[in-house]
Amino acid sequence: MERAQQEVKDAYTVLFLKHHRTVEKFAFQCGVKVNDIPDVTQEVFVKLYRFLHQFKRERFTT
């Protein structure tokens, strides 16, 4: 169980490192103030973590 939990944490870290700049750029393009971008980015990844178990690849669209 502990190993599985660590793998989830490692995978989440990789996800964050790979995509956090994209989230920051998107927030900027949406008009978020520069000072608020770190907070918005954090909120995105907190929500992602909370709802990751609901993700279904076959329903994912952009």
pTM: predicted TM-score of the whole model, two decimal places: 0.75
22 compared with 56, residue with greater pLDDT: 22
pLDDT of res. 58? 66
pLDDT digits (tens, 9 = 90+) for 3-46: 656 777 888 888 899 999 999 999 999 999 999 999 999 999 99
Asked if 41 and 23 touch (Cβ cutoff 8 Å), the reply is yes
CB 45 within 8 A of CB 16: yes
CB 40 within 8 A of CB 27: yes
Q: With b meaning 16 or more CB within 10 Å and e meaning fewer, what string describes 27-42?
A: beeeeeeeeebeebbe
Q: What is the pLDDT of residue 26?
A: 96
Do residues 24 and 37 lie in contact, with contact meaning Cβ atoms separated by under 8 Å?
yes
Q: Give domain limits for the chain.
A: 2-59
